């Protein structure tokens, strides 16, 4: 039942905001809708944790502890982001960057985007999952080009074409999976249902599935932002409005990775080998290393953090690729903390950019002086994302790296070297932005930094203490996807 | 010590840590200068006192263990307090009492909000260091370690408006982080495959020689980065001057010792095998570090940089001790190993007091004159006699002069050197005397450095401007400095008691103690092995000197008419004397620079005879920058430029990437 | 420690204080003879001290307490050093309190104090002297210590008494290492006591002066104490040299009969040493100040070499 | 009879591939659109045959869907667009057609080899055409890489969609209806958004040439 609510609220919200998007209360309505979604997802989570996995609408929808955790995360971050976007967008409008119609578009698309992500997470049907992923692209592409600047148009075009093409490969992969499943489950609806596929995964035809996985990996991997398919990501993050960057980086990538992980489970089950895992590890490692080296060349702050997202998605992909309880646990923990931290960082960065009127890092100075909350938010967030204890990112990285040392020792030097380079790059720039003298004016509207500190607080908590029920929950999920 | 009987030392230590954290948040919330200086810092000092007491009672007691239900789900926080950690906690507590009390006075004219933040970071820093000593699993250790690094980083960048300070902070945290990565890998190697990261399992895990060596090297690198072992020292002379003086005192006096703790913990406790060449490596590195540090200290022109380099030197001396201990331990000469280890720990303890005292002293000088350049200071003994006296104690102590504490530890190390012969390797036997010579040279140079430091700051006449308005130190500063100075004297005069304190640690590390033989002829006489071979009684020495002085004075008073006139300085009848005729800091260091020319990248600005305003400047740079660090930076630069090309901007190229990836993968799985 | 020990200690204390100027006078006298001058007489130093104690003390305006306090410390240190060296008997009750390393430490303490005092007034010559003193010192100190280490390595002990015991009363062995050590020790002695070729004790207003430059500002009683202290230092070094390199004749522990003999031996040795010192000073020329580090470095290397030779012979 | 239809479908498949090559080499936008429409037609007809032979009724729907969407609506939109944007006659210079062709042939060979083992195990009468489907997907990919203007690139994108659809029908008698509809919806919406884009791009860069959009890069 909650599933329907979760999906219905944002859908309705999208339509409502398409109608009333011009009203003054649109931002509040947006937040309210997101809050509703969050509540529903909370109820769903509680039920799944108590009653275990379940399906709905003759198996079209399906929740287990893996995707319910992502659902909760998505709904939560979507909610906090909507809170942040309210003053942010007001300030943008105040600066004359946005017209009222653009705001309407933004709000309704925001809700629809949430809807598509939740659909992709909740559906049991791989085909529908594909449709939802494509829809997620479609809903965000106009948001990326919201400012209508040449750069934003270019970014949006690249985003659209690259992700579209990538997704097309994923469709081919899905077809192949269906083709293989049809042999076992017979033609028709059930052959694409994850629950059924999971049962019979060992009987699926290996050669087909290996081919299928290649297509799925390239397809969804493009959306995850794995190197060398990542090229759309920095542009889109840098040029879109900050709330969009936040949800893209914090949520969409997770959802895409979720799709990859689901298919990995099938494929490894069918092949009985570790092929899929190895491929993922390879891509993950490549992404981490390349992103680290890209980082040291950035001038635009949002672009830099986009690359850091690539790095962290690579790390997660690596973790899920390694498999095993600890690594998977770490992967999911990393998903959580990364979404929270990265979105928090984007919130802070957004306000910083508004305050200084630029995203160029050498022009941003002395945030701590002008607006300490933004400055400290950025500083702490950056340190957290760099894997500094006692923040949660360190916890997950610790588990990932130690597992890697344990089972793939040769990878650790690369990982650690990459982390070191990334540290030098990001930290050096953060310092110049946060510290020093400045002559900036404070913002016209008070910035909303409650979300920032809520997120960072959670991350800090997760670094020091992972509540047992959360741990059990993650363990269940890890057991599911092994 | 009633409370100790009722609850374990580790509980008390934990309590103090929590208490410090509470103080930190209190400071952050209050943001009121008066309250923070008058209440919170003294309260922190009280906490330090309790911690020291707990550690004292924990020394020699059984290792007591605690597990907190925090941390990772399958790796909760393990804590353990054995003699080693107890000793270092004693160091932390005892030294930070003085520093906190001093801070209570020093920070009195900071603004409230800034001070609130500073107080927060300061107490977090304290708590983190204590937690490092308590940690008994890799995760908690890393958390505490990095929390320590972070808090100290923010303390260093307190005055972040200055670009140099930002740069210093960046360099510091970067090197600290690289070191932390190495430490993490070191733990990873030590757990040897059965993914359990508690120290307990590491103790039980057996490593073959190769992996043990890898572990040791990683630990040496990782902890060396924090300790400032050459060539990882570059952050130290940048960060220490940048920080507010109590923070410098804390970092140099205590934080560097956490690295020493780490090395000892890994080498003697967590690894079950040692190899003799580790000792030689540590010995050599230590000597290089010591000489390097002291030589650079001699040519510094900034008083805090000078002290920072002197810290490098002392770390080198400590490392030499560790190296000796390892070597002897490997060759089963545990008595001598215990001697070397005792000397090491003793010196660590001494350095905490001496360097704390000196850094705090520079803080007061800075506060009174607003001047850090030695070239502008001078004659401060007249406006600030109390400070001058207290700092003199520290300077003499760190110069390794009897009967103060610096001398005792160096004496012990030299004894260890002298008792070394008879090692199976003839090369080692050759190396040991040379090493001893180098060590002696370093400590003699330390005397040079300290004469320069004290003489240029406190003696003579102010070189530029006058410091009439330079006020002497207030009551809190006096208490803090007094405590540390007292420590320097007592540690120097009653060595036997200190050695008895250290005994349980050496027992734990090398399975042998010194106290039995050291105290065999009573607490008055320090006899490392047997009275015939070497003995030293600082107290008697002290008394004799005092008696001698008093006797002479009385005699002179008795027989001398005591007529005394005051006049201008004679100076061989030199016509006019100006303060600028005294040696500047550069001038005083010049002979050293001439002798050790090749060490430095020297840049000189020498005036021509026709200059209206002749201006001489000599600058000695650290060559290691050019040889070690800049290449690494440029390589990274090039690599990232190379990879940056991939981000080409043409969508066709991007499509081509995906296309090729697809084809490659298809070909691969096929 | 028994009463006789205490008596012996007191005796030596007084003895060294009284004898020190005599040695100084003797050396100067010998120098004069060697340079065909009629010298000032052996007792000249005593008269100097007496004269200085008559004069009024003149103190520079910005002299700090440290400046006035320093002569006493210097005197006490040197007195202590001189009186703890086993010159006539090896079982001085106080000698265990101080071994060779500590002895070096005491000299270092004195050096640091005299340099600080020199910097106190803030005159150009004073700081110059202090700098040079430390320059000489930081090389002389390790050299001296290395010399002692050689002796200590031979006798497996750093306490002077034991060293003397071993070298004088155990079986007679020629130690080649001691040869190196002896040369190094003499070089150190020249440097430490401000003798030619390192420094010239009998002149002011030389731009290359070291020791004199430091005490320019002192007068009357302070100067007297300093002079006396340097005489004591010379005595201490000579006795140390004697104790380490020609210890024969020094009375063994508890052997009271040997003490008068030891006393005679001591005076003979001192006379010889003083003459030798004077000879050295006469035949050698004062060197440029920048050559001093090389000189001291040579001493240091020789001392290390001695130690190495000792270990090479593996005794 | 069966295998006659089978041959017929294979013939259509061959046509599809031929058209794909044609698009790869076609310079003029207008004829590119026509080719695309033709491809859609071939696709729907072949789907119809498959439906008829395999009695899979839902395939009729999807054939109809294809007809409406890919033969009528999309080409119509494209025609309108190029008329509005008045790029109707613009010709783009392709780099060296023979090379592109050779690469294309290589791709076809690669695709066939890849598909061979799968085709064997396919139970459908259209088994052999799976390789062709894969080939046309790769060819459209290649086309997107070689085109330097926006509209042809999009056409390549849509052509890829065709290939996928063909793969679906040929390999598995089509996906479940829900999915088919979803995909169709996505394609349609995507087309609209692209249309919006063309105008935005046009009014920003006053040309649809992609060489204006190479600013965002590392330098």
The model's pLDDT over B211-258, given as tens digits with 9 standing for 90+, comes to 899 999 999 999 999 999 988 999 999 998 889 999 999 999 999 999
Q: What pairing do the DSSP bridges indicate for beta strands B564-567 and C57-60?
A: parallel
- Sign of the torsion angle spanned by Cα atoms B98, B104, B110, B115: positive
**B662: chain D residues, CB-CB within 8 Å:** 141
Q: Which long-range contacts (CB under 8 A, 24 or more apart) does B419-426 make?
A: B419/B336, B419/B339, B419/B528, B419/B529, B419/B533, B420/B324, B420/B328, B420/B336, B421/C153, B421/C311, B422/B333, B423/B327, B423/B328, B423/B331, B423/B333, B424/B331, B425/B276
Query: What is the phi/psi pair of residue D156, to 5°?
Result: -60, -40
Q: Tell if the CB–CB gap between D114 and B645 is shorter than 8 Å.
A: no
Interchain contact, B181 vs A416, CB within 8 Å: yes
Contact status, residue B137 vs residue B202, Cβ threshold 8 Å: no
State the total domains in chain B: 2
Angle between helix axes D57-66 and D150-172 (nearest 10 degrees) is 170
The verdict on B394 and B487 lying in the same domain is yes
pLDDT above 70 covers what percent of chain A? 99
The answer to whether the CB of B502 falls within 8 A of the CB of B417 is: no
Residues B548 and B623 in one domain: no
Cβ burial A417-455 (10 Å sphere, 16+ → b, else e): bbbbbbbbbbbbbbbbbbbbebebeebeeebbbebbbeb
Residues of chain D with pLDDT below 70 are 1-2, 93-94, 123-127, 219
Chains C and A touch (3+ CB pairs under 8 A): no
Q: Which residue of C has its CA nearest to B422?
A: C314
Judgement on whether residues B549 and B620 belong to the same structural domain of the protein: no
A360 shares contact with chain D (CB less than 8 Å): no
B161 vs A435: CB contact, 8 Å cut-off?
yes
Is B30 inside any structural domain?
Answer: no
Neighbors of chain D with 3 or more C-beta pairs under 8 Å: A, B
pLDDT over 90 (residue A253): yes
Q: Do B73 and A162 touch (CB under 8 A)?
A: no
Q: Chain B partners of C62 at a C-beta cutoff of 8 Å?
A: 379, 382, 461, 569
What whole-number distance in Å separates Cα of residue D172 and Cα of residue B626?
66
Cβ-based neighbours of B547, under 8 Å, separated by 6 or more: none
Percent of chain D clearing pLDDT 90 (strictly above): 17
Is residue C61 helix, strand or coil?
coil
Tell me the C-alpha distance between A433 and A348, whole Å.
Answer: 12
User: Does residue B573 come out as left (phi exceeding 0), alpha (psi in the -120 to 50 range) or beta?
Assistant: left
Q: Is D145's CB within 8 Å of B663's CB?
A: no
**Interface touch B656/D145, C-beta < 8 Å:** yes
A contact test, residue of B24, B28, B72, B670 with most A CBs within 10 A: B72
* Residue B40 falls inside a structural domain: no
DSSP-assigned letter for residue A193: B
| Mean pLDDT lowest among A30-34, A120-124, A134-138, A446-450 | A446-450
Contacts of A388 in chain B (CB under 8 A): 146, 150, 177
Average pLDDT by consecutive 10-residue portion of chain C (315 residues)? 78 88 90 86 87 86 87 91 82 80 91 90 85 88 89 84 78 77 91 83 72 84 90 91 82 73 86 90 83 88 87 66
- Asked if the structure places residue B106 within a domain, the reply is no
Q: Are A9 and A39 in contact (CB under 8 A)?
A: no
Give the total residue count for chain C.
315
Tokens of B590: 């010049």
Whether chain D lies against chain C with 3 or more Cβ pairs closer than 8 A is no
> B180 in helix, strand or coil?
helix
Q: Which ranges of B370-474 does DSSP label H, i.e. alpha helix? A: 385-398, 405-418, 426-458
pLDDT score of B1: 40
Q: What is the pLDDT of residue B4?
A: 45
Both tokens of A451, joined, read 């979300």
B638 three-class SS: helix
Share above pLDDT 70 across residues of chain B, in percent, rounded to a whole number:
98
Angle between helices D29-54 and D150-172 (to 10 degrees): 10
Q: Residue A206's closest CA among A269, A282, A280?
A: A269
- Contact list in D for residue B654 (CB cut-off 8 A) is none
Instruction: State whether B655 and D217 contact (CB < 8 Å).
Output: no
Compare CB distances from C137 to B447, B454, B568 and report the shortest one's residue: B447
Which residue bears the tokens 């396919």? Answer: D122
Are residues B550 and B626 located together in one domain of the fold?
no
φ/ψ of A56, rounded to 5, equals: -145, 160
Contact C139, B445 (CB under 8 A): no
Angle, vertex CA B660, rays to CA B655 and CA B663, nearest 5:
125
Phi and psi for C227 in degrees, rounded to 5? -60, -45
Give me the mean pLDDT over the B451-463 stretch: 88
Domain residues for the domain of C309 are: 3-313
Alpha-helix runs per DSSP H in chain C: 3-34, 44-54, 65-84, 100-121, 124-155, 160-164, 176-192, 211-214, 220-245, 258-283, 292-312
Looking at residue C170, what is its pLDDT? 67
> Is B571 in contact with C221 (Cβ distance < 8 A)?
no
In this structure, what token pair is assigned to residue B76? Answer: 């909760």
Query: What CA–CA distances, in Å, run from A110 to A161, B21, B94?
Result: 21, 42, 59
Residue B304 has pLDDT above 70, yes or no: yes
Taking an 8 Å cut-off on Cβ atoms, the answer to whether A172 and D164 are in contact is: yes
By the CB < 8 Å criterion, does C158 face chain B?
A: yes
Q: Which of B28, B45, B27 is nearest to B36 (CA)?
A: B27
Name, in order, each residue with C-beta under 8 angstroms of B303's C-beta and a sequence gap of 6 or more: B362, B365, B372, B373, B374, B377, B453, B457
Range of the domain at B654: 596-608+615-670
CB of B447 within 8 A of CB of C138? Answer: yes
Preferred mutation among A175, A188, A222 to probe D, highest tally of D CBs within 10 A: A175
Same domain membership, residue B447 and residue B499: yes
Q: Determine whether the interchain pair B451/C58 forms a contact, defined as Cβ–Cβ distance below 8 Å.
A: no
Task: For residue C106, give how far its alpha carbon lies from the nearest alpha carbon of chain B (Å).
Answer: 7
Verify whether the Cβ–Cβ distance A405 to B146 is below 8 Å.
Answer: no
Among residues B328, B176, B322, B158, which one has the least CA distance to residue B248? Answer: B158
Torsion of Cα atoms, B278 then A417 then A394 then A65, to 10°: -120
Instruction: Name residue, tokens 């009271």.
Output: C256
Cβ-based contacts of D148 with chain B (< 8 Å): 652
CA distance D82 to chain A (A): 18
Q: Do C116 and B444 touch (CB under 8 A)?
A: no
Distance CA A171, CA B53 (A): 69
- Which has the closest alpha carbon to C252: C170, C133, C155? C170
Distances (CA, A) of B108 to B101, B114, B250, B251, C32: 12, 12, 18, 21, 66
Contacts of D42 (CB under 8 A, 6+ apart): D12, D15, D16, D19
* Token code pair at residue B634: 């440029």
Say yes or no: B433 and B294 in one domain. Answer: yes
- Rounded distance between C-alpha atoms, residue A432 and residue A395, angstroms: 27
Average pLDDT, chain B: 87
Q: Establish how many alpha carbons lie within 13 A of residue A129's alpha carbon, considering only the half-sphere containing its beta carbon.
A: 30
Among A304, A421, A448, which Cα is nearest to A364's? Answer: A304
Distance from CA of A8 to the nearest CA of D (A): 18
The Cα-based distances of B591 to A51, A413, A471, C117, C126 in angstroms read 82, 46, 65, 20, 16
Name the strand (E) or helix (H) holding B261. Answer: helix B256-264
**Partner-chain residue, chosen from B161, B639, B657, that has the shortest CB–CB distance to A437:** B161
The pLDDT value recorded for residue B53 is 92
Chain A residues with CB-CB distance to B150 below 8 A: 383, 388
Contacts of residue A276, Cβ cutoff 8 Å, sequence gap at least 6? A213, A217, A263, A264, A267, A268, A321
Q: Which residue has the tokens 């944007």?
A: D85
pLDDT at B347: 94
The answer to whether A370 and A440 are in contact (CB under 8 A) is yes
B514 with B658, same domain: the answer is no
Contact (CB<8Å) B658/A229: yes
Gap from A252 CA to chain D (nearest CA, Å):
18
Residues B444, C138: contact at Cβ < 8 Å? yes
Beta-carbon separation of A435 and B178 below 8 A: no
In chain C, residues 228-287 whose CB comes closer than 8 Å to chain B: none
Contact between C122 and B569 using a beta-carbon 8 Å cutoff: yes
**What backbone torsions phi and psi does residue B403 show, to the nearest 5 degrees?**
-100, 30
Q: Does some domain include residue B529?
A: yes
Q: Chains A vs B: touching, with 3+ CB pairs under 8 Å?
A: yes
Query: How many CB atoms lie under 10 A from the CB of residue A357?
Result: 12
At residue B3 the predicted structure's pLDDT band, cuts being 50, 70 and 90, is very low
Tell me the pLDDT tens digit for each residue of B618-662. Answer: 777 788 888 888 888 889 889 888 888 888 888 889 999 999 999
Smallest Cα distance from B334 to chain C, Å: 18
A397: chain B residues, CB-CB within 8 Å: none
Mention every residue, 6+ apart, whose C-beta is less than 8 A from residue B600. Answer: B296, B299, B593, B620, B621, B622, B623
Pick from B421, B452, B595: which is nearest to C293 by CB? B595
A294 touches B at CB < 8 Å: yes
Q: Are residues B553 and B640 in the same domain?
A: no
Q: Do B649 and D110 touch (CB under 8 A)?
A: no
pLDDT tens readout for residues B485-530: 999 999 999 888 888 888 889 888 888 888 777 777 777 788 877 7
Of the candidates A290, A295, A326, which has its C-beta nearest B195's C-beta? A326
Contact B129/B257 with Cβ under 8 angstroms?
Answer: no
Q: CA D21, CA B361: separation in Å to the nearest integer? A: 84
Please give the Cα distance from C230 to C247 (Å, whole number): 23
Could you give phi then psi for residue C92, rounded to 5 degrees? -70, 130
From chain D, the residues in CB contact with A179 under 8 A are 118, 122, 171-172
Asked which of A34-48, B321-335, C156-170, C284-298 is least confident by mean pLDDT, the reply is C156-170
- Whether residue B39 contacts residue B22, with contact meaning beta carbons closer than 8 Å, is answered with no
Question: Hey, which residues 26-45 in chain A have their CB within 8 Å of chain B?
Answer: none
What is the model's pLDDT at position D126? 67
Positive or negative, the CA dihedral A238, A243, A245, A246 is positive
Q: What pLDDT is stored for residue D124 in this prediction?
A: 67
Residue B51's pLDDT band (cuts 50, 70, 90):
very high
Domain count along chain C = 1
Mean pLDDT score of chain A, rounded to an integer?
Answer: 90
User: To probe the interface with A, which of B31, B147, B654 has the most A CB atoms within 10 Å?
Assistant: B654
Backbone angles phi, psi at D96, to 5 degrees: 55, 75
Same domain, B649 and B553: no
Residue A47 at interface with chain D, using a CB cutoff of 8 Å: no
């Amino acid at each position: 039942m909650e599933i329907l609510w979760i999906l219905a609220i944002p859908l309705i919200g999208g339509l409502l905001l398409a109608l009333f998007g011009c009203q003054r209360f649109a931002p509040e309505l947006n937040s309210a809708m997101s809050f509703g979604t969050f509540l529903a997802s909370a109820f769903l989570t509680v039920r799944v944790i108590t009653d275990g996995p379940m399906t709905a609408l003759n198996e079209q929808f399906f929740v287990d502890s893996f995707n319910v955790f992502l659902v909760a995360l998505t709904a939560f971050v979507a909610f906090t982001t909507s809170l942040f976007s309210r003053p942010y967008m007001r300030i943008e409008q105040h600066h004359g960057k946005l017209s009222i119609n653009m705001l309407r578009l933004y709000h309704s698309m925001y809700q629809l985007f949430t809807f598509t992500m939740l659909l992709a997470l909740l559906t049991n049907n791989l085909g529908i999952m594909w449709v939802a992923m494509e829809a997620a692209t479609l809903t965000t592409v106009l948001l990326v080009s919201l400012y209508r600047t040449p750069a934003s148009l270019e970014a949006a075009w690249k985003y659209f074409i690259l992700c579209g093409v990538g997704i097309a490969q994923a469709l081919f992969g899905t077809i192949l999976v269906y083709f293989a499943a049809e042999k076992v489950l017979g033609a028709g609806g059930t052959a694409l249902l994850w629950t059924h596929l999971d049962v019979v995964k060992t009987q699926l035809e290996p050669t087909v599935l290996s081919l299928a996985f290649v297509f799925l990996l390239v397809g969804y991997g493009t959306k995850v932002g794995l190197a060398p398919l990542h090229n759309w990501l920095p542009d889109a993050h840098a040029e879109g409005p900050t709330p969009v960057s936040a949800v893209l980086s914090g949520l969409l990538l997770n959802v895409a990775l979720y799709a990859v992980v689901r298919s990995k489970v099938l494929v490894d089950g069918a092949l009985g080998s570790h092929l899929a895992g190895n491929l993922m590890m390879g891509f993950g490692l490549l992404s981490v290393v390349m992103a680290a080296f890209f980082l040291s060349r950035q001038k635009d702050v949002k672009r830099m953090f986009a690359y850091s997202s690539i790095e962290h998605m690579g790390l997660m992909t690596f973790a899920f690729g390694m498999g095993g309880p600890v690594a998977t646990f770490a992967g999911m923990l990393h998903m959580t903390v990364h979404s929270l931290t990265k979105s928090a960082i984007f919130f802070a960065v957004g306000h910083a950019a508004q305050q200084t009127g630029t995203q160029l890092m050498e022009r941003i100075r002395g945030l701590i002086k002008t607006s300490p909350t933004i400055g400290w938010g950025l500083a702490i967030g950056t340190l957290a994302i760099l894997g500094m204890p006692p923040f949660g990112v360190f916890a997950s990285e610790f588990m990932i790296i130690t597992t890697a040392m344990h089972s793939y020792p040769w990878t650790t030097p690369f990982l650690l070297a990459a982390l070191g380079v990334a540290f030098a790059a990001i930290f050096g720039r953060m310092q110049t932005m946060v510290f020093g003298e400045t002559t900036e004016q404070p913002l016209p509207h008070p910035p909303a930094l409650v979300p920032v500190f809520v997120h960072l607080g959670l991350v800090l908590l997760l670094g020091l203490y992972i509540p047992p029920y959360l741990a059990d929950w993650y363990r269940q999920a890890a057991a599911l996807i092994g | 010590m009633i409370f100790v009987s009722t609850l374990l030392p580790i509980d008390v230590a934990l309590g103090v840590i929590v208490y410090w954290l509470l103080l930190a948040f209190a400071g952050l919330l209050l943001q009121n200068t008066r309250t923070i200086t008058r209440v919170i810092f003294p309260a922190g000092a009280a906490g330090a006192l309790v911690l020291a007491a707990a550690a004292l009672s924990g020394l020699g007691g059984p290792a007591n263990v605690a597990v907190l239900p925090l941390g990772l789900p399958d790796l909760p926080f393990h804590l353990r307090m054995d003699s080693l950690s107890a000793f270092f906690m004693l160091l932390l507590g005892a030294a930070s009492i003085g520093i906190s009390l001093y801070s209570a006075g020093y920070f009195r004219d900071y603004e409230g909000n800034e001070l609130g933040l500073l107080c927060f970071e300061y107490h977090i820093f304290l708590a983190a260091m204590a937690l490092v000593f308590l940690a008994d699993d890799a995760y908690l250790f890393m958390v505490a370690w990095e929390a320590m690094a972070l808090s100290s980083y923010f303390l260093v960048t307190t005055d972040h408006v200055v670009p140099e300070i930002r740069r210093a902070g960046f360099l510091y945290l970067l090197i600290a982080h690289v070191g932390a990565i190495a430490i993490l890998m070191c733990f990873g190697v030590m757990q040897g495959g059965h993914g359990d990261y508690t120290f307990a399992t590491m103790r039980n895990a057996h490593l073959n020689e190769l992996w043990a060596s890898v572990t040791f090297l990683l630990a040496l690198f990782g902890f060396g980065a924090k300790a400032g072992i050459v060539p990882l020292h570059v952050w130290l002379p940048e960060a220490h001057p940048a920080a507010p003086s109590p923070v410098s005192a804390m970092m140099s006096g205590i934080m560097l010792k956490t690295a020493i703790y780490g090395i000892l913990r890994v080498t003697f406790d967590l690894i079950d095998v040692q190899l003799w060449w580790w000792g030689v490596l540590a010995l050599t590195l230590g000597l290089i570090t010591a000489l390097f540090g002291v030589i650079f200290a001699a040519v510094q022109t900034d008083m805090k940089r000078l002290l920072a380099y002197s810290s490098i030197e002392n770390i080198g001396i400590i490392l030499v001790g560790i190296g000796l201990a390892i070597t002897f331990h490997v060759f089963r000469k545990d008595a001598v190993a215990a001697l070397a280890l005792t000397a090491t720990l003793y010196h660590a303890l001494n350095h905490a007091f001496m360097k704390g005292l000196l850094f705090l002293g520079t803080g007061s000088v800075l506060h009174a004159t607003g001047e850090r350049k030695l070239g502008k200071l001078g004659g401060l003994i007249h406006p600030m006699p109390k400070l001058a006296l207290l700092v003199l104690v520290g300077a003499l102590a760190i110069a390794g002069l009897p009967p103060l504490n610096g001398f005792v530890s160096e004496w012990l190390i030299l004894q260890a050197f002298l008792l070394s012969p008879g090692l199976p390797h003839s090369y080692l036997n050759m190396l040991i005397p040379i090493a001893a010579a180098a060590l002696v040279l370093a400590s003699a140079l330390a005397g040079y450095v300290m004469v320069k430091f004290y003489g240029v700051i406190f003696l003579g006449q102010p070189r530029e401007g006058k410091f009439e308005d330079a006020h002497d130190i207030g009551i809190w500063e006096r208490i803090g400095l007094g405590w540390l100075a007292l420590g320097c004297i007592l540690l120097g005069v009653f060595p036997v008691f200190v050695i008895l304190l250290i005994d349980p640690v050496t027992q734990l590390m090398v399975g042998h103690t010194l106290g039995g033989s050291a105290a065999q002829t009573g607490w008055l006489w320090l006899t490392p092995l047997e009275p015939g071979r070497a003995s030293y009684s600082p107290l008697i020495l002290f008394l004799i000197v005092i008696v001698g002085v008093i006797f002479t004075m009385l005699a002179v008073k008795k027989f001398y008419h005591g007529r005394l006139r005051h006049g201008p300085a004679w100076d061989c009848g030199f016509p006019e004397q100006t303060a600028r005729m005294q040696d500047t800091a550069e001038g005083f260091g010049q002979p050293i620079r001439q002798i050790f020319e090749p060490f430095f990248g020297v840049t000189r600005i020498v005036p021509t005879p026709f200059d209206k305003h002749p201006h001489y400047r000599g600058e000695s740079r650290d060559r290691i920058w050019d040889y070690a660090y800049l290449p690494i930076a440029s390589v990274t630069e090039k690599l990232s430029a190379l990879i940056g090309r991939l981000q080409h901007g043409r969508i066709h190229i991007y499509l081509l990437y995906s296309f090729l990836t697809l084809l490659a993968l298809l070909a691969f799985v096929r | 420690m028994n009463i006789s020990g205490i008596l012996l200690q007191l005796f030596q204390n007084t003895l060294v204080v009284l004898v020190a100027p005599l040695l100084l006078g003797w050396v100067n006298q010998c120098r004069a003879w060697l340079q065909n001058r009629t010298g000032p007489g052996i007792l000249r130093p005593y008269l100097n001290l007496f004269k200085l104690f008559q004069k009024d003390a003149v103190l520079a305006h910005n002299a700090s307490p440290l400046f006035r306090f320093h002569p006493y410390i210097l005197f006490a240190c040197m007195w202590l050093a001189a009186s703890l060296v086993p010159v006539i008997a090896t079982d001085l009750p106080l000698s265990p309190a101080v071994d060779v390393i500590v002895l070096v430490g005491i000299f270092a303490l004195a050096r640091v104090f005299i340099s600080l005092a020199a910097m106190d007034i803030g005159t150009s010559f004073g700081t110059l002297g202090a700098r040079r003193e430390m320059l000489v010192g930081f090389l002389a100190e390790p050299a001296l210590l290395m010399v002692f280490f050689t002796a200590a390595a031979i006798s497996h002990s750093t306490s002077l008494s034991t060293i003397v015991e071993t070298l004088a009363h155990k079986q007679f062995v020629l130690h080649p290492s001691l040869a190196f050590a002896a040369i190094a020790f003499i070089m150190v002695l020249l440097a430490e006591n401000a003798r030619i070729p390192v420094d010239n004790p009998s002149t002011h207003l030389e731009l290359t002066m070291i020791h004199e430059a430091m005490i320019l500002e002192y007068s009357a009683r302070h100067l007297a104490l300093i002079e006396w202290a340097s005489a004591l230092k010379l005595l201490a070094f000579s006795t140390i040299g004697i104790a380490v390199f020609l210890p024969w004749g020094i009375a063994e522990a508890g052997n009271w009969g040997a003490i008068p003999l030891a006393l005679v031996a001591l005076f003979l040795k001192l006379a010889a040493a003083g003459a030798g010192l004077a000879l050295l000073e006469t035949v050698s020329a004062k060197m440029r100040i920048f050559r001093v580090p090389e000189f001291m470095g040579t001493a240091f290397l020789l001392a290390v070499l001695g130690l190495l030779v000792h270990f090479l012979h593996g005794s | 009879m069966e295998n006659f239809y089978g041959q017929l479908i294979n013939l259509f498949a061959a046509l599809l591939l031929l058209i794909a090559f044609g698009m790869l080499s076609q310079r003029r936008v207008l004829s590119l659109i026509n080719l695309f429409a033709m491809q859609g037609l071939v696709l729907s007809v072949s789907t119809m045959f498959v439906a008829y032979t395999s009695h899979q009724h839902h395939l009729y729907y999807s054939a109809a869907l294809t007809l409406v969407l890919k033969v009528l609506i999309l080409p119509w939109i494209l025609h309108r667009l190029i008329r509005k944007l008045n790029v109707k006659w613009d010709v783009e210079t392709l780099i060296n057609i023979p090379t592109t062709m050779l690469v294309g042939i290589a791709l076809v060979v690669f695709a066939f080899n890849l598909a061979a083992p799968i085709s064997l195990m396919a139970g459908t009468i259209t088994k052999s055409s799976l390789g062709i489907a894969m080939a046309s997907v790769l060819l459209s990919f290649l086309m997107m890489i070689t085109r330097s203007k926006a509209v042809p690139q999009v056409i390549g994108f849509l052509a890829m969609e065709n290939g996928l659809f063909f793969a679906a029908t040929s390999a598995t008698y089509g996906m479940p209806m829900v999915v088919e509809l979803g995909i169709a919806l996505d394609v349609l919406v995507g087309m609209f958004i692209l249309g919006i884009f063309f105008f935005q791009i046009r009014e920003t860069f006053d040309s649809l040439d992609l060489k204006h959009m190479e600013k965002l890069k590392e330098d």
